[in-house]
């Protein structure tokens, strides 16, 4: 018999398969059903987004900016009409004045002619010459009255009033750029444990005051480096590695809980997530190979569990359970439902999770409640081409959905725009080094409120600030 079996994309077994017309992959009947269910869920998400948009759209009213523009148009109309009326009245006055002067002149000529005729008649001294003169003068005056000098209106080719027009201000993606020579804002004084030094910084967090919180990896501490200060201050951990409640071991990431102003730390070496609040410590999650941290606008905490190749989510204050898997959790692998040594993470406004999938050389996006992710950067094996990444670390996403990646092994930060097949270098990419335009294994990333880009420069033991070009 003819062997008509092929390998199923999901289970990797040789079975009778069916081609999906969308992704052009072969699935066995069971996995095709699952694949169709995933697509159906995606459709429901789109429908849900549409319903939300429809609800928002139905409530839309002209905004204050539109009303302001209409006020400007009304004012232009009023000013223009007033200007036209004034100019028209000036022209009328000129014509009336000219006409009156003309009539006065004719009247004077008639009066003069009348006096001459009266004088000749009274003196009774007239002849053919006098009569002919009078006849000619009367005819000329009559003709002048019937044929006044011609006047006309001339239109100026130059616009009399300022013309206005409506220009579409349709928003287009703003591709920000940054100065290529960075400012060292933390560390940069060689490797060490003094307050003006760092030792292999990993994750960073920049608050609204531009203070930088740094996971000082090999110093086993969290350092806060206030804006424009020459040294930092230890706010968690000590100089020594340990597993006491007040000690840390190779912290990889740090975030600020805005609700209670505490700091949450991925204490990787101790396999725990710990919270510090005014020198008081509390273990939130224990027995977890944590690496990256994120918190969404609803207060949910997201943690990378590299030991199980997954990302889990916990509701604030409910850390006594196992949390919910929101990405990966299907074993180590390179399928869209799998992760391979995930590191840093980012969560957007829609609770989509962006995972720095270290071992798979890619950034993968998992929408809320999705069963598998979508590759948004890399995924073409490790390399230095613009369509590749080499062990990506930090990941952040801006309001336009553009993904910024700390391309660790390529010593650069690269930006991937939605729908593009390759990225573009934002900063770095000038070989490995310690100059102001170079990076050496960039790790954590963060933006401040002004759009300046901060990079944890791992092997240069510093944090670099790349100022935005406005």
String of DSSP letters for 347-374? E-TT--EEEEEGGGTEEEEE-TT-SS-E
In a domain, 47, yes or no: yes
Q: Do residue 184 and residue 157 come from a single domain?
A: no
Q: What span, in angstroms and rounded, lies between the C-alpha atoms of 85 and 87?
A: 6
Global pTM? 0.66
145 with 225, same domain: the answer is no
Contact, 261 vs 270, CB < 8 A? no
In-domain check, residue 128:
yes
Q: Which of 267, 203, 215, 150 is nearest to 444 (CA)?
A: 203
Q: Are residues 44 and 109 in the same domain?
A: no
Mind listing the pLDDT tens digit of every residue in the chain (470 residues)?
445 788 888 888 888 888 887 777 888 999 989 888 988 888 888 888 888 888 777 777 666 667 788 888 888 888 888 888 888 888 888 888 878 887 888 788 788 878 777 777 777 766 777 777 778 878 877 877 777 766 777 766 566 677 776 665 555 556 789 999 999 999 999 999 999 999 999 999 999 999 999 999 999 999 999 998 999 999 999 768 999 999 999 999 999 987 788 999 999 999 999 999 877 899 999 999 999 999 998 889 999 999 999 999 999 888 888 999 999 999 999 999 999 999 999 999 999 999 999 999 999 999 999 999 999 999 999 999 999 999 999 999 998 889 999 999 999 999 998 778 899 999 999 999 999 999 999 999 999 999 999 999 999 999 999 999 97
128 with 209, same domain: the answer is: no
Residues in the chain: 470
- State how far the alpha carbon of 391 is from the alpha carbons of 153, 163, 180, 203, in Å: 79, 58, 23, 15
The CA distances from residue 84 to 74, 191, 337, in Å, are 15, 76, 71
Same domain, yes or no, for 226 and 104? no
- What whole-number percentage of the chain has pLDDT above 90? 56
Is 82 within a domain?
Answer: no
Q: Measure CA 38 to chain center.
A: 30
Q: What domain range includes position 136? A: 90-168
The verdict on 281 and 405 lying in the same domain is: yes
Per the structure, how many domains does the chain have? 3
140 shares its domain with 105: yes
User: 201 and 304: one domain?
Assistant: yes
Residue that is written with structure tokens 């062997």 in the block: 3
């Amino acid at each position: 018999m003819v062997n008509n079996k092929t390998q199923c994309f999901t289970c990797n077994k040789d079975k009778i398969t069916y081609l999906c017309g969308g992704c052009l992959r072969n699935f066995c009947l069971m996995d095709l059903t699952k694949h169709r269910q995933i697509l159906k869920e995606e459709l429901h998400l789109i429908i849900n987004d549409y319903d939300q948009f429809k609800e928002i759209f139905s409530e839309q009213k002209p905004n204050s900016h539109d009303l302001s523009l209409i006020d400007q148009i009304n004012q232009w109309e009023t000013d223009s009409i007033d200007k036209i009326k004034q100019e028209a009245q000036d022209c009328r006055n000129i014509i009336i004045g000219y006409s009156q002067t003309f009539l006065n002149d004719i009247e004077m000529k008639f009066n003069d002619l009348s006096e001459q005729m009266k004088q000749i008649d009274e003196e009774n001294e007239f002849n053919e010459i006098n009569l002919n003169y009078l006849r000619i003068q009367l005819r000329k005056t009559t003709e002048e009255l019937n044929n006044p000098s011609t006047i006309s209106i001339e239109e100026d080719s130059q616009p009399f009033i300022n013309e206005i027009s409506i220009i579409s201000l349709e928003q287009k993606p703003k591709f920000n750029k940054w100065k290529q020579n960075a400012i060292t804002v933390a560390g940069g004084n060689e490797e060490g444990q003094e307050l003006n030094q760092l030792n292999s910084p990993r994750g960073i967090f920049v608050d609204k005051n531009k203070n930088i919180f740094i996971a000082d990896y090999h110093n086993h501490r969290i350092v806060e480096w206030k804006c424009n200060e020459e040294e930092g201050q230890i706010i968690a951990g000590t100089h020594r590695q340990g597993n006491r409640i007040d000690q840390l071991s190779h912290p990889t990431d740090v975030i600020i809980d805005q609700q209670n102003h505490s700091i949450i730390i991925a204490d990787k070496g101790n396999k725990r997530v710990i919270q510090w609040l005014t020198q008081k410590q509390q273990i939130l999650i224990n027995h977890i190979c944590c690496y990256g941290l994120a918190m969404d606008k609803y207060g949910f905490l997201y943690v990378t569990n590299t030991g199980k190749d997954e990302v889990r989510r916990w509701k604030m204050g409910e850390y006594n359970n196992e949390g919910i898997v929101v990405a990966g959790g299907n074993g180590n692998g390179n399928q869209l439902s799998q992760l391979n040594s995930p590191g840093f993470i980012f969560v957007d406004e829609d609770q989509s999770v962006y995972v720095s999938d270290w071992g798979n050389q890619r950034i993968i996006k998992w929408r809320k409640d999705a069963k598998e992710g979508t590759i948004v950067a890399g995924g073409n094996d490790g390399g230095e081409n613009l369509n590749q990444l080499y062990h990506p670390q930090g990941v952040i996403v801006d309001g336009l959905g553009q993904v910024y990646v700390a391309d660790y092994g390529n010593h650069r930060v690269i930006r991937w725009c939605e729908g593009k097949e390759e990225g573009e270098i934002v900063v770095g990419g000038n070989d490995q080094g310690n100059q102001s335009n170079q990076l050496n294994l960039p790790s954590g990333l963060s933006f401040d409120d002004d759009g300046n880009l901060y990079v944890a420069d791992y092997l240069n033991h510093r944090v670099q600030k790349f100022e935005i070009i406005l």
